[in-house]
Structure 1
Amino acid sequence: MKFADGCWLTQKDYEVHNMSGAYEVLSHDAHSITILAAGSRIYNRGMTLGGPVLKITYSSFAENIIGVKIVHYPDDGVKRPEFELERDKGYIPEITIGDDTAVLVSGKTRVEIKLHSDWQIDYFYGDRKLTSSRGRTTSYIVNDRHGADGGFNPRFFEAIPEHPSYLREQLSLGVGECVYGFGEKFTHFVKNGQTVDMWNSDGGTSSYQSYKCVPFFLTSGGWGVFVNSSGNVSFEAGSDVVSKISFTLPGEEMEYFLIGGEEPKDVLRSYTSLTGRAPLVPRYTFGLWLSTSFTTDYSEETVNSFIDGMEKRGIPLQVFHFDCFWMREFRWCDFEWDRRQFPDPAAMLKRLRDRGLSVCVWINPYISELSTLSDEASREGYLLKNRNGGIFRTDFWQPGMAIVDFTNPAARDWFKHKITELLNMGVTNIKTDFGERIPTDVVYYDGSDPELMHNMYTYLYNKTVYEALTDFYGKDKACLFARSATAGSQRFPVHWGGDCTAEYSSMAETLRGGLSLGLSGFGYFSHDIGGFEATASPDVYKRWAAFGLMSSHSRLHGSTSYRVPWLFDEESVDVLRFFTCLKGKLMPYIWSQAVAAAREGLPVMRAMLLEFPEDRVCRTIDTQYMFGDSLLAAPVFDESGEVDVWLPEGRWHDVITGKAYDGGHYERFVCTHMEMPLLARDGRIIAWGNFERNFDYDYLDGTVFCVYNLPEGKTAEARIYDGEGREYFVLTAKNEGGVVTWTSTPTDKRFGVEVIFD
């Protein structure tokens, strides 16, 4: 949200009260310092008449995380939905109050507050300055025109355009410092120069809108900020004042956490320790998923023909997904199979399970007036209400559609019961679609502010479904497939990238969204292979298949057309088979990266800067990524098959072609459809498993450990984990005098070691 009119002026109709100095320390204890910030320098008593003044509390409950709470006056009476944060009450920071400076130290991160002088707040990590708030930065802002035009947009799911007041913070950016994150954003990967608003929207992948808004960013300078609000936080990343990043929140109070680290990985670890980490998901979920697609015609016969076709062509299939029309039209959701197309669903599901397949079905959190559940949900108070006490309804997606109120515990239990009935029938996974277009002019069961619930709704929706899956299958054995999300939603994996189009530009924007999501705390990411809208050319389909299989989760899905490969061309069959089997062989390695996601909060698909923070080129790259910590993946985005790949310093081995390359420059690859640059980093060990068909297999028996270009004097390790994420085997290689030797955990399993120098 912009308030500046050039360097000197403020935009019309706004009064900006910038804090001029820390007037005094109001209080302090073992955990916090609270200061009084004045809107002007106080030279005499007459200048203390009136305000505004702000009370600002600096605190810490975990190392390298400093909380900042800014209050104009308390928003009394507002029921705020709250993120579930992991606050460690036992941690005590170091606090010093001097004559002219107050200091709070948290681990290696500290804040220095200048007292009785011009406004100056500086943040450090060790001796390195991270950022500062100086001059006209921390502000209370009044909107003089609020209410002049009614202040409400009739499109029920859009953001409220006007508020009477705002709080704003601005933090400095260093020269060349890059900003990332904010959830799944399909715009340019580096967010400098962009306005980023936190308002979940169903906008596809080709716009500035986002299904997954997360009020968190990190920078290439090794720090980040999480704004602790589910409201419409507006960020200006060097786009209002070009040397600063600002964040603005409607209302009278705002809390944020500044996180320091040696590098971006450290910031991400600390952020996910605060908001939660993605748990493990079942190993079979990393295999290939095939969908009915959305509005296509399908029945049990269609489903069987697809599965038979995949088996006949030797393409390992792990999960089959039934999209919306497993239920009857106009009745979503009633959780009842359309018996016209699926006359005996329980028997059908058993047959699919007997073939080694898991089954996913689509749902949304809406109840059509024609649903068999509508009367019950209305009668029991399970639905959102209008301010007049009636049920909120719209024809926007389904006739007379109402929305489940997940702030009602009884509604959550009722919804869980419906999910459990499906699981008892043989369903293994749930696709939790929608959850973005949530109205603001409604009343919630628990009295929550409806504007603050707009983004929080998806959290409660997916949490409810994930808990049903966990209750049924157990911890780390649940997997849903979600589109919408907010901060903390990484606790309920997996998430996919929404509605993309079957063309190269959309494939690239999907990758940008996934990389931004990974830098926002999410461990896993998927997308619709071949694109959702329209039908891909055979060329795009094959390139997207390679990209999709080198993603954490891989699903074939479309809108109006099917995605089985033989409908494109015969080479598409070969490409899909090859990359599915390649991923299957890589599962010992991929599973170790999933364990890292669960333990450390690091994504499986990593922006290059996470692994190479000192490489300035990697700070802006958004067309390639690290698939875990040891493999560089570069999708092909052009029908020529050409792709320019930045290779950081070192020696890189292409695991598909066997060719090797020196790093430190861009390398041009010309790829057949059976190729995509996939390069092993030097000094790393990749475990190649003995894959046949099922992605959940013994990751040690028959495995070959390839040691790639291990430099002299260095060691490398590969670890094997069981299905519960427990380490049970470690292989260590070392290069001494040009000779590579290895040791390992004793085992009765057979495995091989291959040392590669090229």
Structure 2
Amino acid sequence: IPQTQFSMLGNPSEKIGRLVFAREMDDSFYGLGDKGGSPDRTGRRVRMYNKDALGYDAENSDPLYKSIPFLLKVNRSKGTSIGLYFPDPCIRCFDICSESRFYFSAEIVDGPFSYALIMGDDYRQVLSGYCRLSGKPAFPPLYSFGYFGSSMNYAEAWDAQQRIERFFKDVEERDLPCEGLYVSSGYLKADDGKRYSFFWNRRKFPDPKAFLEDLRERGYHLTFNIKPGILKTHPWYSELVDKGYLLKDNDGNPIVEYFWGGDASFIDFNNPDAVKWWKGKLNEAYLDFGVEGVWNDNNECELADGELDAYKVRTLYPVRMAQVSYEACLEKNPNVRPWIYSRSGYAGMQRYARTWTGDNVSDFKTLKYNQYQGASMGLSGVPFVGHDLGGFFGPEPSAELLVRCCQSAIFQARFVIHSWREDDRPTEPWKFKDAYPLIKEALFDHYRHIPYIYNTARQALNGIPMERLLCLEYPSDARLCADIEQSMFGDSVMKAPVVNQGQGSKSVVFPEGDNWYCPMDGKIYKGGTTETFETPLGKTWYFYKAGSVVPRSLVVDKLRTGYFSKLQLFIVPSCGNVCYDYYEDDGFSVEGEHSHNIWHIEVSYDSSGKAGKVSISCRHLGDASSLVGRQFHVTFPDGFSEEVVIPAEKADGVEIPFGGEYR
């Protein structure tokens, strides 16, 4: 437990307090949101407010979009982990041993000058404890883990509807699995070039309801970009001022800040009447048309005047907006999981929204550091994170960059190619003819692993990250540093993506204590070793931990249901026994105490003696009809045993003997 000292800084009227904690030898620090650079924050001084950071430097820019005042302190040599959560919306900065290697500190404005100390046997227990305080993550619908198209260039154009329809036609002609589209704010762009929230441009979309119904009938899901800033030229601005629905300054007048397109004010999401109005407009403009997703963007609530009362709580703004969006979706469809995205955030955002790393740049440096940012968000209690593949901002990505981005997302919670190109040429999977087969293969590989990804997402509901740093998973292996270009995804998969330009080979460090199976070459690699692998553009590497069961889908298709027709249970044996809990559901229903849509499938492998045995048990909370017509494929690495196919409805209680010894 760190020793603490407290002092007041500067002018007493400013009420700035400083909490100082002693650092122990070998302490390392993680969390604080989507900060760039290494995930180990040691030696950094970081600012804690949210900023619209278009084109940020993923290694050095600070602040960025999310400021989460949770700090994870790990001492690998002592085997200890603690968390410090500072429940204050106005923290000026954290100094993580930048001023002195002997202590770290937090500077807090206006109080409360307090913190919660969270204990645990390891970092996972600490994170679970933090999420019990700040809120457990909301479970997104299954389809949100699949591939989505997106580009600002679609909705900005005057033929926006035709461009979107063309995108889906291209997807269908190429037989690509695709869940839908993220629609950028151009659909709100009026003839004067300004974006007016809730006002569809009817020249671009003459009949939004019919347009959306057609896409929904074809199985697509759309989410629409919405912004909380109401321009002073907005047709409803005067009405909102009169009703008091906008954030006010200390004199009771609407706060006016520069926003995209001109001066604007922000909806006050702490005003119940304003919340009711906002929810009504969400219904009228989207939810009544069958739209399932709300994409909260430009919601950093950047305020210039530090004397404003609202300034002190501005980091809470995106969380409150996400909560209102979440509630509106649940009120519209009480039995369907809301699909909410928020670019900005603070502690507790995970209760309502997923997120991504914002307006990233199309270069290899960003690809590399985005991986660390994703892991850092998981270590801040926000597990469902992804990136704009190919880069949102900057020059056209090269074929190499786009391929490597898509390969890095095989094991990620979000697979979205999103862009804004000044030449009006959106980034799409088929952008480069020669690279398209490689991108398609990465996309298909992502879909094959959706059962594993989705099961890992369910595990994350307890606060355990989906993307995990190897140095925290294997703290006794000194070769594993925080910024090694490898990571765990869930319990069973180690990924080693290529994140550097022109990289023709890659050294992979295999953590001590486990052996590793490579699905690409069929070989077993011993823990504690380092191997070099060739990495031509079409090649990426990942490994299954020995003693794992990796559920995979043998059918690559749109994610209509979580009951996969041909579910492969890929077993990688180890010297001991293997036991794996796999959960499946319909993919969209709200789950609660009395849910009736969940299957719990337990797979165990007993390796005692010279013959192994696989046992399967299936437990359902309700109707068992979801097993009918499906197959379970029990599979081992080549050379161990033949695959066994079992009708799913007959799988409960099955025992399958296997001969031979595992080497």
TM bucket, shorter chain: 0.7 to 0.9
What displacement does 1:475 show? Answer: 5.6
Which stretch of the first structure deviates more once superposed, 396-405 or 346-355? Answer: 396-405
* 1:196-215 paired onto structure 2 within 5 Å: 196-204=46-54, 205-206=56-57, 207-215=61-69
Cα gap change, 1:657 to 1:471, in 2 (>3 Å): farther
Equivalent position of 2:487 in the other structure: 625
Match for 2:379 among 504, 508, 519?
A: 519
Name structure 2 gaps, 5 residues minimum: 76-80, 592-597, 619-626, 638-661
Look up the SS of the partner of 2:263 in the other structure.
coil
1:542 touches 1:575 (CA, 8 Å); kept in 2?
yes
1:441 touches 1:450 (CA, 8 Å); kept in 2?
no
Match for 1:458 among 318, 323, 335?
A: 318
Alignment pair present for 1:141 and 2:5: no
What displacement does 1:683 show? Answer: 0.5
Alignment pair present for 1:276 and 2:143: no
Deviations 1:16-61 (A, max 9, x none): xxxxxxxxxxxxxxxxxxxxxxxxxxxxxxxxxxxxxxxxxxxxxx
Equivalent position of 1:586 in the other structure: 449
Deviations 1:444-463 (A, max 9, x none): 9xxxx323211111111111
Alignment pair present for 1:189 and 2:39: yes
- Cα separation, 2, equivalents of 1:340 and 1:678: 48
- Cα separation, 2, equivalents of 1:612 and 1:425: 49
Name structure 1 gaps, 5 residues minimum: 1-130, 147-162
Cα gap change, 1:480 to 1:185, in 2 (>3 Å): same
TM-score by length of 1: 0.76
Cα gap change, 1:512 to 1:418, in 2 (>3 Å): same
- Cα separation, 2, equivalents of 1:419 and 1:232: 32
* 1:513-552 paired onto structure 2 within 5 Å: 513-534=373-394, 535-552=396-413
Cα gap change, 1:475 to 1:175, in 2 (>3 Å): farther
- Cα separation, 1, equivalents of 2:479 and 2:327: 42
What displacement does 1:476 show? Answer: 6.1
Identity of aligned residues (%): 25
- Cα separation, 1, equivalents of 2:31 and 2:402: 28
Equivalent position of 1:751 in the other structure: 632
Equivalent position of 1:172 in the other structure: 22
Task: Report the structure number with the largest CA radius of gyration.
Answer: 1
1:217 touches 1:226 (CA, 8 Å); kept in 2?
yes
Look up the SS of the partner of 1:302 in the other structure.
helix
Match for 2:2 among 113, 132, 142?
A: 132
1:272 touches 1:601 (CA, 8 Å); kept in 2?
yes
Which stretch of the first structure deviates more once superposed, 351-360 or 380-389? Answer: 380-389
Aligned residue pairs, count:
601
Equivalent position of 1:681 in the other structure: 545
Alignment pair present for 1:671 and 2:538: no
Equivalent position of 1:14 in the other structure: none
What displacement does 1:581 show? Answer: 1.8
Deviations 1:586-645 (A, max 9, x none): 1221111111111x1112222223432333333423522211111111221122343333
Deviations 1:146-173 (A, max 9, x none): 8xxxxxxxxxxxxxxxx63432222222
Equivalent position of 1:348 in the other structure: 211
TM-score by length of 2: 0.86
Equivalent position of 2:645 in the other structure: none
- Cα separation, 1, equivalents of 2:497 and 2:477: 21
- Cα separation, 1, equivalents of 2:379 and 2:34: 9
- Cα separation, 2, equivalents of 1:256 and 1:464: 27
AA partner of residue 605 (structure 1): E
Alignment pair present for 1:720 and 2:570: no
What displacement does 1:653 show? Answer: 1.7
Deviations 1:73-122 (A, max 9, x none): xxxxxxxxxxxxxxxxxxxxxxxxxxxxxxxxxxxxxxxxxxxxxxxxxx
Look up the SS of the partner of 2:530 in the other structure.
strand
AA partner of residue 215 (structure 2): L
Cα gap change, 1:338 to 1:138, in 2 (>3 Å): same
* 1:643-658 paired onto structure 2 within 5 Å: 643-649=506-512, 650-658=514-522
Match for 2:73 among 219, 236, 239?
A: 219
- Cα separation, 2, equivalents of 1:666 and 1:742: 32
Deviations 1:179-199 (A, max 9, x none): 111111112211110012211
Look up the SS of the partner of 1:359 in the other structure.
strand
AA partner of residue 71 (structure 2): F
- Cα separation, 2, equivalents of 1:501 and 1:754: 41
Look up the SS of the partner of 1:521 in the other structure.
coil
Equivalent position of 2:145 in the other structure: 286
Equivalent position of 1:87 in the other structure: none
- Cα separation, 1, equivalents of 2:122 and 2:211: 51
What displacement does 1:395 show? Answer: 4.0
Alignment pair present for 1:611 and 2:473: yes
1:687 touches 1:718 (CA, 8 Å); kept in 2?
no
Look up the SS of the partner of 1:617 in the other structure.
coil
- Cα separation, 1, equivalents of 2:274 and 2:200: 22
Equivalent position of 1:247 in the other structure: 106
1:432 touches 1:480 (CA, 8 Å); kept in 2?
yes
What displacement does 1:403 show? Answer: 1.1
Alignment pair present for 1:739 and 2:611: yes
Equivalent position of 2:354 in the other structure: 494
Equivalent position of 1:96 in the other structure: none
* 1:302-317 paired onto structure 2 within 5 Å: 302-317=163-178
Cα gap change, 1:657 to 1:404, in 2 (>3 Å): farther
Deviations 1:502-527 (A, max 9, x none): 11001112112111111000120011
- Cα separation, 2, equivalents of 1:254 and 1:698: 46
Cα gap change, 1:571 to 1:467, in 2 (>3 Å): farther
Cα gap change, 1:208 to 1:425, in 2 (>3 Å): same
- Cα separation, 2, equivalents of 1:607 and 1:571: 34
- Cα separation, 1, equivalents of 2:481 and 2:315: 29
